[in-house]
Structure 1
Amino acid sequence: MRFADPRSCPDCRGVLDGQPACPRCGLDLTSMEARQLWQVLLQADDLLARAGQHRLAPVGQPPAPQPQAPAQPQAPAQPQAPAQPQAPEPRAPQPQASPAADPFVAVPPTWQPYPARGSAPPAEGPPAAAPPRDAGRGWSVGTILLVLGAFGLVAAGIIFVTRSWEDLGLAARTLVLLGVTAVIGALGVWVTRRPLRASAEAVWSVFLALLTLDFFAARHEDLAGIGSLSVAGGWVVWGIVALALSTAIAVWARPHVNTVLIATAVASSVAITIAGIGAGGLGDDWDFAWRAVIALIVTGVLALATRPAKLPPTTLAARAVVAVFFVAAYVAAFVAVIDHPSPDELAGSGHGAPMLLMGAAAVVIAWLVPVVRIPAVALAVLAACALVVVPVADAGTTESTWLVLAVLAVALSAVGTRGVDDWMRGVRLGAVPAVAGIAVVHIALVAELFATMGNSLGAPWEVAGDARLDPGAVADRAAWIVPVVLVALVATAWFVARWPELSAARQALAAAVVALAIGGADAVAALKWPVWAAALSLLVLAAGLVVARLRTRVAAPTVLVAWLALVAASLASASQGVSAATWLLGGLLLVMVALLSTGDQLRHAHAVIGTGLVLGGTAALVDLLDVADGSVPLLVAAVALALMAAAQLAPAFRPVGPTVEIAAAVGLGIALLTPGTSGQVSVRWTIAGVGLIALSFVAAGRRWLVWPGLAALVVAYLGLIVDSGFSFVEAYTLPLGAAGLAAGTFAAVKKPEISTWAVLGPGLALALLPSVPQALAEPTGLRALLLGAAALVVLAIGVRLGWQAPFVAGVTILTLLVLFNIGPYANAAPRVVLIAVVSAVLLAVGITWEDRVRDGRRIVAYVRSMR
């Protein structure tokens, strides 16, 4: 048995699996008390192991032979979790050992490390001391001291040179420079031969840093004749010297430390950088682009000079420095081309030569360094395009710039389809700016197209059909460039879709069709065609896409048809005659696309747009014919009802039937709510009501349309009454009440279980209640007489059929009429007579109270028993 068991909880002895707390009792194993407990248990195991060496034989058994040597501890079996958790047994409290009082107790950072999942459990016996957690990891103390010492020496050298240098003479300065450098160099040789790699890294770093300080201090004091060097020249010379020294040190030290010193690689990259910066500063009166090119040449030559040494870290660092200088020189050359765009400056003054050299350098780098071939070729292509496009854009017109850009986009995209090697990948990458350029040209044309559409929609039906589109929204340019850039866009889309990188979506024909649909709309606006020609051309193009899709020649997206139809409809809105035909044809085309599309979720959107265009075209056409007033919404309502019927009855409309029906219903609502005279509104609503009721009988699943139809008929009737000039309320309510009573009576007979209040209540309210106020105001008039007769008939029907609603309505109205008829006479009689009559009635009621209560209950029960 072991007390210190890393797999068992010290409290409940539950199985642990690397958790910071016991999963059984929740004991925190990372607390200070748990750590002290772990040390106490280790001591107990140690004492028990030592006590086991002095065992006595039990009573009645021979003594056990003493072992000659302690047996090796055997690994216990893998512990298994208990089937049922047991409550921990109470133990007597043990005195806690204080870490300060007992020097043997060392507090570990956490509980004893637990074995990983699947690993073998630790062996029994006294546990061995665990190795330090950070042993072999991170920086050692020696490394830290070396770094601090190297930094201190460099700092001391800087302070000495800046503060104490002026106090020394020339000879003393020379001796100091040579002595300190020699000592550090000798120390570097000694630690390298040991070999002590970390020390060598630190010492050689100090040596190279001191040499740098020595060189620039000697130049400042004009030692050895180097004071005549300019600042840039000194940087170049020292860069070369430092690179040679760093490379030599790395080559000499490699056999001793069996690796390349990182300090020398860093020093080499810094030396190449210093030499490149210095080379770029030699010609103060040169253009920045030329100085950047010279700096690149110097860094490239120095980087190539390190290759024979075969030092991978140095080579990698040198390449990184050359890459940075290459990017800087390329950007400087590109800026020079932009700043001096004229052909005379680029060719005559030489401002384009740096860009030409950078393009050639990119080709050479692509040939020599395969790993950067793709971006290098792309930069070469971009340099060539810049040298062609920039001077043309500066010296020529917009048309010439677009022409050159179109030619480059088509040529480069076509060349990009010729292969899959890195050269062709670089060409395709370099062609992206040209492709983007032709796309930007059409984005500008799209902006002009939307401006033209906005002008047409903002002032509809104001020009003739043969008038040209609004020229103010389109820039003034030559017409011949528009088809050129359109063809360039289509061809570029065709070739780009055939690039190998787009093989997963290699739909070149579809891409060309998309470009044609977008660019065609742009071209129509840019060419400023007449309104009818613009609308007709776009509709013809849309029809062509539909035919191509039907014949499965090309999977043209249906959204392109909607795009062309909407653009045509927007442009055609400038003229009433053109808009009527365009809206009708475009709407029918979109409805046909919605009907013929399979599996396309956009077909519902096409159906909605198409239905709206058909209804709008109908309104424009009827208004164009100069028919009678109010005919436009009437015919639109009729067409909307026809579309609703077709959506329900025609099998071809089944996929988009609900969508067409909803869109047509919206159009019907707009037509019905269009202002007009009472007679026009009545006719409009009558047609709508009759159509909806008829559709409810012939269309399965649309029985509920009878209620909107009836409501439409009610509105039509009200409009007719208003137009007829009737002033009495019964003219409005009595027919509706009669219709409600007829429908309610039919429902009451067909469904006896329904309450009469539900089926007859609305009809009774419409037929009787509107006449009550005026009848009570004139209780002796004709209206009161007719209302009383009607209430009597209703009461008789309720009593005869046992219907509660007519019985209560009849009794209530008759009671009110009787009371209001008696009222004038009661008011005219003397007060004493009225008091006497009321008293007599009360006396009679009191005497026969019990009988009256019994009769009242019978009446209530009778009424309740009614339906």
Structure 2
Amino acid sequence: MDTNLPPVEELRRIDAELTRLDARRAELLARRVWLLGVLYAPAARPAAPFGGVAAPPETSPRGAQNVLLTLGGTLLAIAALAFTLVSWGSMGIAGRSAVLLAVTSAALAAPAVLLRRGLASTAEALGALGLVLTVLDAYALHRVALPGTDGAGYAAGASAVLAGAWAGYGGLLPRLRVPLPAAVAAAQLPLPLGAAAAGGGPAAVAWAVLVTVAGDLLLLGRPAGLPVRITAGASAGVLGSWALLTGGRLSLTEPWSGAPLLLGCAALGLYAARAARPAAPVLAVVAGLAAVGAVAGPARAALPGEWAVPVYTVCGLALAALWRPVRAAWIPAPVRAGLGLAGGSVAALGVLWALPPVLGGLLGPADRSTGVWSGAHAAPPLGGYPATAALVLLLGAVAAGATGRPWGRWGALVLGWAFLMALPVVLELSYAAGLAVRLVAAAGALAVAVRSGAPARGLPESAPEAPAEVPARPEGAWGASWTAGVAAAPPAPGVLTAWTGFAAGAAAAASAALLALDARGATFAVSGVSFGLFAAAAVLGAGAVRGAAAGAAVLVAAGLVGAGGAAAGLAPSTAGLLLLLVPAGTAALATRVRSAAAEATGGAVGLVALVLTVPRPAVLALALALAGVVAAATALRPERRAASWLAAALFLGAAWVRLAVWGVAVPEAYTLPVTVPALVVGVLRRRRDPAVSSWAAYGPGLGITLLPGLVAVWSDPAWVRPLLLGAGALAVTLLGARFRLQAPLVLGGVALVLVGVHELAPYVVQLVGALPRWLPPAAAGLLLLAVGATYERRLREARALRERLARMG
């Protein structure tokens, strides 16, 4: 590149060179595509034997070779087995020995020759056949030379000999892949079969299995081939599972025999977790469960039956607590996490076992078998449940609180509340003690709801850093999720704690209230205490929990008032009037304590009060008026102006009910009290906003009176109502015309016309009766003719228009 050229000339040359390079690159790419097509194009299909083109091959030559070799070896093995089992007796001892020895020797020797000639697959097939023949040789030897030998003992010795022989054969011919895995598989039998042959029980056989598993695990740690490692791992998994199940069964029936066996399973599981890193968490969980069973089994056997679950729970919690401070490099983080999960799972199962008394204490009072205020007390549900269930819940609460994590503290609060709710059931407490415990549970839970940040007090704001050995985590998606769980912890669940505390407190208070219905004094005492608790929570709390507590306090106050009415023997309608004190008190307190939940609950209580007074209309009218007063007082607050509409509706309802009680049937008595205020409101609204239409300002008020009046006019034969309604409609029409308002003009005019039609109707009827019979059909015919002529004219005009348009085109 000549850099002495002018910039313009140099730029032109660079562009020309780049263009040439792009063209050459496109040419080379096209050539490359063609060459790839030539190299990888499918070979020409051979011609079919009878013409046409043969179908493409469906398997590779190597696949066909392997299938043929496998089938051949299998058929030879079957033939040898048939010879051994069926044709054995037709030959003498020398002939039989010579045949088996010759065939086995040939099958075992042939692979060496075949491997030197490069026939590895054929050598593999004949080698596998030779291994099968050695098994048949062992069987033949037992039948001929050692017929009296015990079958299990002989099988143990034969499997040991075969395992050694196959391992040596595989060492001599390392290119064969079958002998060494087969030797590993055969090595699984000598010790278990030998223990069974020696008369050992399940424990002895299980120990023999464990020793075999230990050998498999040692083999996993050696640099053996993949088939050998897979065989050893699979064998260890199968035999180890059998030993673990046997140890678990013995732990329940013979604890002192099963405990050492389970400890051995736990030790081998931990060793396997180090040898097989991807499965380390699962193996650690298995090892932890085995350790818990080993320790808890003998302890459970030494204690009464009701202590079984607490013993396992304590052992599980101990395992979950002991692994945490261990930071030694020889225990990887996944193994520690697996041990913690195992211990936590055992403890969780214990907590699940202890939950039925909690449900019994919470929901038991709802299943009433005695009358309200009868003084009789039903037996507590789930009587006879082990009292140690409460201990399990208490242990779980202490352990959860000791974790030093916010979620642990939350769990401790839940389990502590569950402990209190279970006490009346498992300890079969007296009636008064059961009420007291439930109220204590409610008080504690509401205290937590009010001070939701207290459980997280003293805890670090963020999670601690992950341990140094975190990179040695399990592989795959599970390992990624585990690392994320170790590296970070959720923030303090303050909102969840607050709502959990409120829900638990409300549930405990409701359970106490249901139980208190057995006695009158207990009902008032529990209601008073519950009201105090919820009121305190409403005053001291904050946020949504504060509003919920205020609503609950209003609900409890309503129950207290209702109980007072029932104790005084008041009728339901009178009790409804008394119940209106609750919404009145709520509205009065709302000026100082603003709570939408409390006001909504008060409104719901007021609705119930009105429903109670429905059977007595006179009392209902009074209740509606009192409710209207409460709504009007609420509407005085600037943020509750909308309550004025409710107050107006309640006052109107009270007036209507009172009129009905007095027997007033004149519709105007019901409509005019609505019309006058509605028109006044419309006038005031038009003054503030002249743009408001007359339909929105005056339409509702005029319609409320005019429409019912028209209905009454058409069913009233007297002349007074039509005269008054017509005069009123005339006045409305004139006012509409005077002020040019559409709604009064239209509504008044329509009403005036309808009243006039009503007055003219009798004369029309008389006139129709005086006309001849033929006049109505004749009038109908003339009408139809006029309509038909008009229709025909419209069609003619349409056709003429179409023709003109066509000429224009």
Give the alignment's TM-score, normalised by structure 2.
Answer: 0.71
Q: Where is the helix percentage greater, Structure 1 or Structure 2? A: 2
Q: Compute the RMSD of aligned alpha carbons.
A: 4.5
**Stretches of structure 2 lacking an aligned partner (at least 5 in a row):** 1-20, 44-56, 458-491, 517-522, 773-809
Quick one: distance in 1 between partners of 2:268 and 2:394?
Answer: 35
| Aligned match of 1:182 | 105
What SS is found at the alignment partner of 1:585? helix
1:272–1:299: 8 Å Cα contact kept in structure 2? no
Return closer, same or farther for 1:724/1:573 CA change in 2, 3 Å cut-off.
farther
Q: Does 1:268 align with 2:183?
A: yes
Alpha-carbon distance between aligned partners in 1 of 2:67 and 2:386, rounded to the nearest angstrom: 74
Q: Deviations over 1:19-50 (max 9, x none)?
A: xxxxxxxxxxxxxxxxxxxxxxxxxxxxxxxx
Distance 1:153 1:692, change over 3 A: same
Query: Partners of 2:130 and 2:634 in 1: how far apart?
Result: 101
Q: Which residue of 2 aligns with 1:85?
A: none
Of 719-728 and 542-551, deviating more is: 542-551
2:257 is the alignment partner of 1:353 = yes
In the alignment, which residue of structure 1 is the partner of 2:245?
331
- Classify the secondary structure of the residue corresponding to 1:767: helix
What are the residue-to-residue correspondences of 1:429-828 with 2, within 5 Å? 429-455=341-367, 461-462=372-373, 470-476=378-384, 481=388, 484-495=391-402, 497=403, 505=405, 507-527=407-427, 528-529=429-430, 530=432, 532-546=435-449, 548-549=451-452, 554=457, 557-558=497-498, 559-575=500-516, 576-589=523-536, 591-592=538-539, 596-597=542-543, 603=544, 607-608=547-548, 610-624=550-564, 630=573, 632-634=575-577, 636-637=579-580, 639-640=582-583, 643=586, 653=594, 662-676=600-614, 677-696=616-635, 698-700=637-639, 702-748=640-686, 751-772=689-710, 782-807=720-745
2:36 matches 1:78: no
The whole-number CA distance in structure 2 between the counterparts of 1:622 and 1:807 is: 54
User: Aligned partner of 1:226: which letter?
Assistant: L
After superposition, what is the alpha-carbon deviation per residue over 1:771-801, rounded to whole angstroms, capped at 9, x for unaligned? Answer: 4565566665544554454445445434544
- Alignment gaps of 5+ in structure 1: 1-73, 81-114, 341-345, 499-504, 598-602, 836-867
Alpha-carbon shift at residue 460 of structure 1 (Å):
8.2
Render the CA deviation track for 1:635-694: whole Å, top value 9, x for unaligned. 6555446657877x66x75xxx55555555444444433344323322333343344445
* Alignment of 1:150 onto 2:91: no
**Secondary structure of the structure 2 residue equivalent to 1:512:** helix
User: Hey, what's the Cα distance between the residues in 1 that align with 2:77 and 2:731?
Assistant: 122
**Residues 469-499 of structure 1, C-alpha deviations (whole Å, 9 max, x = no match):** x4331323676x465334312222234x35x
Amino acid at match of 2:512: L
Q: Aligned equivalents of 1:217 and 1:636: distance in 2?
A: 99
Q: Please show how residues 155-554 of structure 1 align to structure 2 within 5 Å.
A: 155-193=78-116, 197-220=120-143, 222=144, 225-254=145-174, 257=175, 261-275=176-190, 278-279=193-194, 281-282=196-197, 287-297=201-211, 313-314=227-228, 317-338=231-252, 340=253, 346=254, 352-360=256-264, 362-363=266-267, 366=270, 370-371=274-275, 374=284, 377-388=287-298, 390-391=300-301, 396-398=304-306, 400-405=307-312, 407-421=314-328, 422=331, 427-455=339-367, 461-462=372-373, 470-476=378-384, 481=388, 484-495=391-402, 497=403, 505=405, 507-527=407-427, 528-529=429-430, 530=432, 532-546=435-449, 548-549=451-452, 554=457
Shift of 1:269: 2.8
Tell me the TM-score normalized by structure 1. Answer: 0.67
User: Is the 2:582–2:605 Cα contact (8 Å) retained in structure 1?
Assistant: no
Residue in structure 1 matched with residue 53 of structure 2 by the alignment: none
Mapped partners of 2:159, 2:394: distance in 1: 55
Q: Secondary structure at the match of 2:197?
A: coil
Matches within 5 A, 1:55-74: none
SS in 1 for 2:24: coil
The farther-off stretch of 791-800 and 206-215 is 791-800
- For residues 824-863 of structure 1, the aligned pairs below 5 Å read none
- Deviation of the 1:808 alpha carbon: 5.3
User: CA, structure 1 residues 661+418, in 2 after alignment: closer, same or farther (shift >3 Å)?
Assistant: same
Give SS of 2:367's match. helix
Closer, same or farther: CA 688–304 of 1 in aligned 2, 3 Å? closer
- Cα separation, partners in 2 of 1:805 and 1:324, compared to 1, 3 Å: closer
TM-aligned CA distance change 1:631 to 1:120, over 3 Å: farther
1:532/1:578 contact within 8 Å kept = no
CA displacement at 1:245 relative to structure 2: 0.9
Partners of 2:768 and 2:99 lie apart in 1 by 145
Offset of 1:566 from its aligned partner?
2.0
Q: CA deviation at 1:127?
A: 7.9
Instruction: Check the 8 A contact 2:284/2:338 in 1, yes or no.
Output: yes
The answer on whether the counterparts of 1:633 and 1:671 sit within 8 Å (CA) in structure 2 is yes
Between the aligned partners of 2:36 and 2:304, the Cα distance in structure 1 is 93
Look up the SS of the partner of 1:273 in the other structure: coil
Give the aligned residue type for 1:724: W
Percent identity for Structure 1 against Structure 2: 21
Residues 375, 244 of structure 1: alpha-carbon distance in 2 compared, 3 angstrom cutoff: farther
State how far apart, in whole Å, the 1-side matches of 2:767 and 2:406 are.
Answer: 105
- Contact 2:732-2:745 within 8 A present in 1 as well: yes
Mapped contact 1:493–1:512 kept (Cα < 8 A): yes
Aligned to 2:32, what secondary structure does the other structure show? Answer: coil
Give the deviation of 1:387 after TM superposition. 1.8
CA distance in 1, matches of 2:259, 2:745: 105
Deviations for 1:152-179, whole angstroms, at most 9, x for unmatched residues?
4323323433443343232211110011
How far did 1:235 drift? 1.8
Amino acid across the alignment from 1:542: A
Paired residues of 2:409 and 2:455 also in contact (CA < 8 A): no
Aligned length: 676
CA contact (8 A) 1:493 1:508 kept: yes
Separation of aligned partners in 2, 1:309 and 1:801 = 108
Per-residue deviation, 1:357: 3.1
Contact 1:201 1:262 in 2 (8 A): yes
For residues 76 and 460 of structure 1, do their structure 2 counterparts lie closer, same or farther at Cα, with a shift above 3 Å needed? Answer: farther
Describe the SS at the equivalent of 2:25: coil
Greater CA radius of gyration, 1 or 2?
Answer: 1
The change in CA–CA distance for 1:820 and 1:804 in structure 2 (over 3 A counts) is same
Is contact 2:269-2:284 (8 Å) kept? Answer: no
Determine the C-alpha separation between the residues in 2 that align with 1:547 and 1:773.
61
Amino acid paired to 1:333: G
What SS does the corresponding residue of 1:725 show, helix, strand or coil? coil
